Amino acid sequence: MTVPKEMPEKWARTQAPPSWSRKKPSWGTEEERRARANDREYNEKFQYASNCIKTSKYNILTFLPVNLFEQFQEVANTYFLFLLILQLIPQISSLSWFTTIVPLVLVLTITAVKDATDDYFRHKSDNQVNNRQSQVLINGILQQEQWMNVCVGDIIKLENNQFVAADLLLLSSSEPHGLCYIETAELDGETNMKVRQAIPVTSELGDINKLAKFDGEVICEPPNNKLDKFSGTLYWKENKFPLSNQNMLLRGCVLRNTEWCFGLVIFAGPDTKLMQNSGRTKFKRTSIDRLMNTLVLWIFGFLICMGVILAIGNAIWEHEVGTRFQVYLPWDEAVDSAFFSGFLSFWSYIIILNTVVPISLYVSVEVIRLGHSYFINWDKKMFCMKKRTPAEARTTTLNEELGQVEYIFSDKTGTLTQNIMFFNKCSINGRSYGDVFDVLGHKAELGERPESVDFSFNPLADKKFLFWDPSLLEAVKIGDPHTHEFFRLLSLCHTVMSEEKNEGELYYKAQSPDEGALVTAARNFGFVFRSRTPKTITVHEMGTAITYQLLAILDFNNTRKRMSVIVRNPEGKIRLYCKGADTILLDRLHHSTQELLNTTMDHLNEYAGEGLRTLVLAYKDLDEEYYEEWAERRLQASLAQDSREDRLASIYEEVENNMMLLGATAIEDKLQQGVPETIALLTLANIKIWVLTGDKQETAVNIGYSCKMLTDDMTEVFIVTGRTVLEVREELRKAREKMMDSSRSVGNGFTYQEKLSSSKLTSVLEAVAGEYALVINGHSLAHALEADMELEFLETACACKAVICCRVTPLQKAQVVELVKKYKKAVTLAIGDGANDVSMIKTAHIGVGISGQEGIQAVLASDYSFSQFKFLQRLLLVHGRWSYLRMCKFLCYFFYKNFAFTMVHFWFGFFCGFSAQTVYDQYFITLYNIVYTSLPVLAMGVFDQDVPEQRSMEYPKLYEPGQLNLLFNKREFFICIAQGIYTSVLMFFIPYGVFADATRDDGTQLADYQSFAVTVATSLVIVVSVQIGLDTGYWTAINHFFIWGSLAVYFAILFAMHSNGLFDMFPNQFRFVGNAQNTLAQPTVWLTIVLTTVVCIMPVVAFRFLRLNLKPDLSDTVRYTQLVRKKQKAQHRCMRRVGRTGSRRSGYAFSHQEGFGELIMSGKNMRLSSLALSSFTTRSSSSWIESLRRKKSDSASSPNGGADKPLKG
């Protein structure tokens, strides 16, 4: 059979959180689950959830009301609805209702269509999953049932390659001993097969008649989200049998290599562990979003102030002047005083001036973000050909924040390294194997090594396995007992599954690359793991098949950091084999191995110094009597209903003691391609990189040197290994003192004071001279993260160029990220590839998942994903920087054009008796933001660039303005508003002044309301179009088409609205026939428009010209150097065409700069052009960025900087 082409259930994590149609137990929270086989009547008493799932939010009847209710939860939508209601009141509104309802309905419709489309796919996937067929045993007969009709307590038959319908207790299977194989890719992303086993008492229930009579009852834990744990007990035939996760098949798994199996439904629908893990992901907002919300509130306040000013003006005007003209301008019936007239005028002006915050702003922002996300998805340079994996933007809300990252928190294994393991070296009985020496006794490097060891003696050897030290194979062949026991342990102590497709063709399915590498090494050296059953392991030892009785597996977990097996060999001898982390195992060895331990420790330190991953191997002989007694206690602990895990851990701890040391293994995990270059480039962009890894300190430090995080040129690398609070505090204090002493020695003028305030200390430390790195162990980090020491740790770490945290737990990873988020006003990014990185990825502002060897759990939890670490530089320096630049330019221009448009009404109010009369035609007001000016600004927001992508990568200093938030902040906002107000003043008063005395060609007065409106509107559209032309840094055909097309559309609509045709059809709506043609036919009008445009635009052009010449920023300099290069290339081509044959003079002296030789010798991997540019722009660009950075840091350390968060800033 083939796997059905169905949508897998991982959608449950990425779609909306489920709203289950679940019946709650009458007694409230479920404390334990009881399920009796083949007894629906009994199980229905507990009212457990059905197996039907519902992730959709709407149906045909509820869609419209529920969706509208959700949309009006947005403040902006509610605000515009309020304005629409005001416009329906004749006494208030001077505008037609459609000026607001058209954009509002447009926005609501677009959002509703998007929501409806999303929900349609949810309905479709729900129906697809709920209607899958399953074979259910009902009244002794197997019947086809839809998944939604499966109930707790039902017995289900699964066949090969079928999805598991619910969380099942495995009862029996077609394989011997009740084994079955599953793939858990939808649960944890791991594609390798895992084995599950029925308990012996039910494994014989393969016959339907026997299963129909099965009436066992399971009492177990209530529904929870722990994928790797299950605790329960089966009661049957007056006996009880312990149940664990090894007996469970979870929903979302696929049955593999197993013809059939039967299972008892324990959890269904929303109670299954897959659905329990599909909770809502925390919604992340960007700093620009938060700033925009603040600015919008300020604009609302400004709008109210303008309304109050104009309302007061109206009341005064009506009292002083309007009362005298009651005969000509009578008040409305409801108006009985000048004060009430002013009150109504306030609401009228709120309606007219509301376009300072147009509803189209929010739609435009989402469209731009969607465009940026597609650019990331379509980027061929971030596509991995080897894995056929593209980059993916899994969210559209964080793109511009990619251009503001200051801290990157990275996992090591699988993120910086490949997570493809190679057995490299080992230590056996005090002798190290793996190094190759030349004739002079010097260690041979990889390129100088002879051919690899020949394993042709072994027909079952893996031909891909390479090893260079022949002495190890010789030790195996001569029968060295320690070497044989070493590889025997590797061939027995594991959870690898073996598959033999053809005779002699073995395929290993390992749960981790480390385990696969170790078993493969044992296979090549003559100890071939061949097969396993629940109770036996068969190994071919030097060609002889030997079957060991498997008595117990003491499995690995993150707390134990070791695994053991207890086996009985053919002679009846019982032995425990154990492998694990050196920090754990060395404390559990017998005292007689001390001398061997010292030698092995030297080897371990040597291996770790080379960046290799190490494990220690040990064994222990057990006598029969002790084992029987221990096994009985283990059985009792496994039957316990409470604290089962703790009791088992205690039992395991007891037997894993006083072991005999065998040796150690060293596995190589190679760096991914491009990691050193990426880290060097990101460091030049002033991004600090912290590595958080579970590996031991020596391995992590060596990888740090390999990937150029740590260099020999660093002033000092601080290593914190204290095991007590006092030791850690002292080591951190000494590190700070050394940094301060270094600063004093170079004349910075700082003096260290123990009682210096933490905020001041931070600013001083971050300005220290020299480059430092901090390496801290997991047990030390646990103390450093305590409330009374976290600030000291953060101060020290943030002053360092690189930070490496070793032996850290997943929780500690998240705590470190949270600490930086809490005290530093900086954007954080976490990147990882495994399930242990999920908490860190979710905690950071931006989470990036690597689709690597450890499954896809990190990808499912991430905001962005790709397959290699090197793509991070392109994600940040190209896509992130461009997204930030585009969004900032979009917002600046958007606020500018709307203030220029709206403020004209404010000035006109002083000349129309504050009557809330509009300057523009109401159709122009409606179309201005959704037709005339929407597309050009969208094109700029989606396509604009300041420099090409190659220059963004070559000059990483270009990234710094985003970190400092320079392109859009409160200052830039007020500049845009000031420019908009300035434009509105000129836009109103220049035509007003001209029209006061101007005449037409025939000598009649030019000034009339409609002619003035057409002139101002035309000036406005032309001015904002020219302005966006100036703002656009990268012209495409789309930009040209949208900008000039919008102008053409404006004139087309303008002439159409004043045409005879529309007047004939709608005489009450389009009364001013021929006004546009008559007005724009006057030379005076065009001169006025040109004058207005020039006066509005020239100051902007002059300011930008002066800034470009006097104080250019880095992007200006890069563009200039690019133009110079193009010019030089053109001249060079011309010279070649002339065909000079004179001497070829070297251009070396003109293009080379001092310092590059030292750079290369230092080992720092920098782009030369980056360094050249930074030195070229020292006076202009770097200085102002550094001064701003110092100013930012000083503001954080000011006395008013907040005692609560002294490190903020």
Catalytic residues: 411
Q: Which residues of 390-417 are buried (b: 16+ CB within 10 A; e: fewer)?
A: bbbbbbbbbbbbbbbbbbbbbbbbbbbb
Distances, alpha carbon 294 to alpha carbons 51, 79, 408, in Å: 46, 16, 28
- Number of C-beta neighbours around residue 752 at 10 A: 16
Tokens of 251: 């929903």
Which residues are within 8 A (CB) of 873 and not within 5 positions of it... i.e. 6 or more apart? Answer: 677, 678, 681, 682, 953
Residue 676 identity: P
Tokens at residue 204, please? 């014989």
Cα–Cα dist 188/856, whole Å: 7
DSSP 852: B
Q: Distance between CA 212 and CA 207 in Å, rounded?
A: 9
Phi-psi region of 207 (alpha: psi -120 to 50; beta: other; left: phi over 0): beta
Do the Cβ atoms of 379 and 945 come closer than 8 Å? no
For residue 653, what are the β-bridge partners? none
User: 3-class SS at 1031?
Assistant: helix
Q: Report which of 10, 441, 453 is spatially closest to residue 253, judged by C-alpha positions.
A: 10
DSSP track, 737-771: HHHHHHHHHTT------TT--HHHHHHHHTT-SS-
Distance CA 125, CA 16 (A): 12
SS3 1178: helix
Q: Is 554 exposed, middle or buried (0-12, 13-18, 19+ CB in 10 A)?
A: buried
Give the residues across from 508 on adjacent strands. Answer: 498
* CA dihedral of residues 613, 819, 557, 167 (deg, nearest 10): -130
* Residues 863 and 669: beta-carbon distance below 8 Å: no
Q: Rounded to whole angstroms, how far apart are CA atoms 676 and 711?
A: 11
Distances from the Cα of 1003 to the Cα of 48, 409, 961, 997, angstroms: 90, 75, 57, 11
Give the pair of three-digit tokens for residue 177: 């001993």
Structure tokens at 538: 């068969």
> Are β-strands 827-832 and 802-805 bridged in parallel, bridged antiparallel, or unpaired?
unpaired
143-147, long-range: CB < 8 A, 24+ apart:
147/51, 147/52
Rg (CA), the chain: 37
Q: Which amino acid is at 8?
A: P
> Do 335 and 315 contact (CB within 8 A), yes or no?
no
Task: Report yes or no: 1058 and 1051 within 8 Å, Cβ to Cβ.
Answer: no
CA atoms within 13 A on the CB side of 690: 29
Contact 128, 7 (CB under 8 A): yes
Q: With H, G, I as helix, E, B as strand and everything else as coil, classify residue 631.
A: helix
DSSP state of 333: T
At which residue do the structure tokens 């009436």 appear? Answer: 215
Give the max Cα distance, the chain. 124
| Residue 665 C-beta-side C-alpha neighbours within 13 Å | 25
State the DSSP code for 1096.
Answer: H
Contacts of residue 155, Cβ cutoff 8 Å, sequence gap at least 6: 37, 38, 136, 137, 171, 211, 214, 262, 263, 264, 265
